[in-house]
Amino acid sequence: MPMFTASTLRWLQLCQRRLWRDLHLDQTPQQSQPTRLIAVIRSADQREIQRAFTMPTWAHGVELTRQLMQQQVEAILGACVEATLTVEGTTEPIRFGGRIDRLVRQPDGLYAAIEMKRDPVLREGDALQLDFYTWLLCLMQGIDWLPAIFWLGADDDGFPISVIDHAYDQFRFQQQLADILQLLFEPQPPAHLISACKECHWRSNCYPDAARVKHVSLLSKLNRQTLDDLRLAGIQHLDQIVAMQPDDLRQFRGIKTKAHAIHASARAWVEERAVWYGQLRDTCRVDDAYFFDIETLQNEWGGTEVWSIGWSDSRGAVGVILVAPEYPAGDLELADGQRVTLVDDAPSAWRVFARFVGAGDQPIFAWTGYDAGVMRKSAPAEVVEQLNPRVDDLCALFDRAVKLPVKGVSLKVVARYFGFNWHGYDDWFAAYSDYLRWRRSGDRGLLASACAYQSDDVEAMRVVRRWLLENEPN
């Protein structure tokens, strides 16, 4: 049976479809395994003792919370609470559940919720979340009202920076809940893609649904206000955009200078092909060019440092430079022929890279401006002086010339459209963890996996540029 949770409720502000799917289909995050619950118990000498319990399942957490409430412990951190109700008009009862940061016993023996927020200010949806927990606790304990508190921010000792009383109003919340539950009786809302889709567990269903109906939210770089304006003007599908002239699109807020790009993007989706709408810059046509891609981490001073630089020339020679102070600096060749250069630190990685690409004037492409930005901030001055005039953003060059029927312009999305596949994983974090494990173990298999990811990234850029050169209209 699906469960209505606080996170379901928070999504209401963003996407009604998410709420509808969570309520109708059995895939709520709350049903994944809670990890730990802590009971605060008062000892015989009046000291507070914390006792941790590991919970294998959500149901186990609910039962444990119930037992601890019966035992009248002082507080429960990470309490799992749940109630089942039959809502008028529904055939099946609905489960309502929530994981409460801090459940605190009141002088009258009842338990009330404290919601802890890392941010020092309340955000949209926070009040609704605490209303929901309080409503659930009232239901479980057979009462109409309970106090409820926010703890905002935390000082160095873990104490809240501010404590805010929350005014729970049973009538107001029940009215809101009734309005929300009306969604149960309506058809599923269509998929309107938003930036929050990236964090939503339904995205693998919603992207194809939006693509099937060619919904306007497939267009990248349209903000919510523009999408609202388009909706108010009755424009919901990309063929309606295609039927307009680019200049007509400028009447909508947020489009203005992007009108041609948006029109081309709509055409790409409708015609299901790449659409050229701009010129390639001459730098993109230079035969002899380099490609590079960096991987970074935060250093202890909060700065960004490279741990890996992958590079390639336009003939396909690929190298990877890795920071690995535990190993002697120098060149290695992996079993698959991959060339790897080990260096002691990030500045050395930049110097080696500058040596590989030489002192000529060939362009050096990266995907987006991130890599060049990190270089300017963190590479040695002589490297910045040598490379900065040559680095260029291939993603921007591509995006100003061509639109594809894909969502976004990440290298993973664009290169895949042209048939390129990453040999192993396509996830920087997997490469980073293999790199760290190799540094500890010396296992060449792990090193090969991390390097394969890095060299695939630069190979993917070469594939995109080759496509541009081979397909540019005369």
> CA separation (Å) from 424 to 306, 441, 456?
22, 20, 9
5 lines the binding site for ligand SF4 (CB under 6 A) = no
**Shortest approach of ligand SF4 to residue 99 CB, angstroms?**
20
**Shortest approach of ligand SF4 to residue 179 CB, angstroms?**
19
Out of 3, 8, 10, 18, point to the residue binding ligand SF4 (CB under 6 A).
18
222 lines the binding site for ligand SF4 (CB under 6 A) = no
Is the separation of the CB atoms in 146 and 167 below 8 Å?
A: no
258 lines the binding site for ligand SF4 (CB under 6 A) = no
Q: Is 459 helix (H, G, I), strand (E, B) or coil?
A: helix
**Rounded Cα–Cα distance for residues 289 and 293 (Å):** 14
Out of 68, 83, 152, 191, point to the residue binding ligand SF4 (CB under 6 A).
191
- Name, in order, each residue with C-beta under 8 angstroms of 396's C-beta and a sequence gap of 6 or more: 368, 369
318 lines the binding site for ligand SF4 (CB under 6 A) = no
Nearer to ligand SF4 by C-beta: 202 or 365?
Answer: 202
Nearer to ligand SF4 by C-beta: 27 or 67?
Answer: 27
Q: Provide the mask over 193-212, with x wherever binding to ligand SF4 is found by CB under 6 A and - wherever it is not.
A: xx-xx--x-xx--x------
**Rounded Cα–Cα distance for residues 144 and 135 (Å):** 8
306 lines the binding site for ligand SF4 (CB under 6 A) = no
Within 10 angstroms of residue 461's Cβ, the number of other Cβ atoms is 26
219 lines the binding site for ligand SF4 (CB under 6 A) = no
215 lines the binding site for ligand SF4 (CB under 6 A) = no
Nearer to ligand SF4 by C-beta: 10 or 17?
Answer: 17
213 lines the binding site for ligand SF4 (CB under 6 A) = no
Nearer to ligand SF4 by C-beta: 37 or 211?
Answer: 211
Out of 3, 6, 9, 17, point to the residue binding ligand SF4 (CB under 6 A).
17
Nearer to ligand SF4 by C-beta: 17 or 403?
Answer: 17
Is the separation of the CB atoms in 222 and 262 below 8 Å?
A: yes
**Rounded Cα–Cα distance for residues 399 and 468 (Å):** 11
**Rounded Cα–Cα distance for residues 233 and 20 (Å):** 26
Give me 275's structure tokens.
Answer: 């659409």
The contacts found for 160-166 with CB under 8 angstroms, 24 or more apart, are: 160/116, 161/120, 162/120, 164/122, 166/115, 166/127, 166/130, 166/131, 166/134
Give me 375's structure tokens.
Answer: 């270089």
Region of 23-31, 150-158, 191-199, 371-379 interacting with ligand SF4 (CB under 6 A): 191-199
| Binding residues for ligand SF4 (CB under 6 A) | 15, 17-18, 21, 191-194, 196-197, 200, 202-203, 206
